[in-house]
Every structure is written in structure tokens, then in C-alpha cells.
Amino acid sequence: MEQIIYNVTVSIDPAIEQDWVSWMCEVHIPDVMATGCFLEGRMSKMNDEEEGACTYAMTYVAYSQEHLSDYQHNHAARLQVDHKSRYEGRFAAFRSTLNVIQHFPHER
């Protein structure tokens, strides 16, 4: 099965970090997952940042390129507007996609 990773990296103003993390976990990420386009999602905080920096990565695994395209064409703009209107001027974001070449599960 072809899987595509959709990664969103966000640097957030430290003054609103806790509010942002709560909103992402309680509202935004569940809304993204509710689109049905992704198998799973993860939120991670970058380690070893400079003091005062707050950078997070939201990593979503799309079922296929078609699912990611559906998300990008039919859902992303609305969800990004919600985020932008809530936190405008207090974050910087960039998005990237990756094709999974091979998956190596841990064997027990």
C-alpha cells in the first residue's frame, strides 16, 4: 500500500504555546483526522531548540496520494483558515510531503 507522509512544521510564539498545544490536540488534529484522509497522526516537539523557541511537527500518514490530494483540495484551506484566524501573526508554518519507500516494522 502506497503511503504518503504529510508533515506540517510550526514555530509558535512561546507566550501562547500552552493554548496552542491544547487547541491543536483538542480541536485541530481531531478535525484533520476526521476528514478520513489519514491513517494516523502524530504531534512532536523538536528537541534541542534554542532557548525561547517552540517548534512542533504534525506528521500525518495518508492512505494514498489520492487521499492526500482529497485533503489538500477539499479540507486543508478551511482548517488552515481556522488556525490562521486564531493565531495570526504568532506562528510560522511550512508543509512537506514524503513518499514512503519502504516500511520496516519492529519484529518481536
Percentage of the chain lying above the pLDDT 90 cut = 81
Region 18-46: what's the mean pLDDT?
A: 96
Task: Determine contact, residues 41/32, Cβ cutoff 8 Å.
Answer: yes
Whether 80 shows a pLDDT value over 90: the answer reads yes
- Tell me, yes or no, if the pTM score tops 0.85: yes
Map out the domains of the chain with their CATH numbers. 4-99 (3.30.70.100)
- Say which residues have a Cβ less than 8 Å from residue 60's Cβ, sequence separation at least 6: 5, 6, 7, 8, 32, 33, 37, 38, 40, 41, 42
Query: Cα–Cα distance between 83 and 78 in angstroms, integer?
Result: 9
Residue 25 per-residue DSSP state = I
